[in-house]
Amino acid sequence: MAVQRTFSIIKPDATERNLTGAVNAVIEKAGLRIIGQRRIQMTQAQAERFYGVHSERPFFGELVAFMTSGPVVVQVLEGENAVAAYREVMGATNPAEAADGTIRKLFAKSIGENTVHGSDSEENAAIEIEQFFTEADIAG
Ligand code: CMP
């Protein structure tokens, strides 16, 4: 297995409840290393671009409104097989279906307010990282 990078967002439902450190503890316990991290207020344009693939979905407006409703923490994670490893640590999109011990089982409020985002492929991870980080912001 190769060392990979993946992109993560700690979403407004988590920052609002002061859970950044609690989420990061689960990430680090899983063996992933946080090699880039920034707390930002996402703009409407950033959220619409980031979730562009979902623009035709009925929940798109709600998703963009939620992601701009408060601060988020954007992150670059590194580790063995990081894309799949982080998806396992996050748990299912719908917290009702998430396995015990996963971030979404522990913290998510609903399918929309589900605490974290993680890239679904190495290719998308690179695209997503590039939207929020330059190499100068990342130290592995
Ligand atoms: P994320 O991994 O950030 O990628 C797309 C997001 O859309 C997903 O997490 C959910 O938060 C959100 N989402 C998916 N399905 C729904 C839904 N039915 N209603 C509201 N939001 C949704």
pLDDT digits 0-9 by tens, 38-92: 999 999 999 999 999 999 999 999 999 999 999 999 999 999 999 999 999 999 9
Give the mean pLDDT of 105-110: 98
Q: How far is the CA of 90 from the centre of ligand 1 (A)?
A: 13
User: Residue 1: is its pLDDT beyond 90?
Assistant: no
Judge residue 77's burial from the number of C-beta atoms within 10 Å of its C-beta, 0-12 exposed, 13-18 middle, 19 or more buried: buried
Among 5, 11, 104, 117, the active-site one is 117
- Check pocket membership of 92 for ligand 1, CB cut-off 6 A: no
Query: Is 54 annotated in the active site?
Result: no
- Check pocket membership of 93 for ligand 1, CB cut-off 6 A: yes
- Testing ligand 1's pocket by substitution, the residue of 11, 13, 59, 119 carrying the most ligand atoms inside 8 A of its CB is 59
- Check pocket membership of 70 for ligand 1, CB cut-off 6 A: no
- Check pocket membership of 111 for ligand 1, CB cut-off 6 A: yes
Edge-to-edge, what's the strand order for the sheet holding 33-40? 33-40, 72-80, 3-10, 116-118
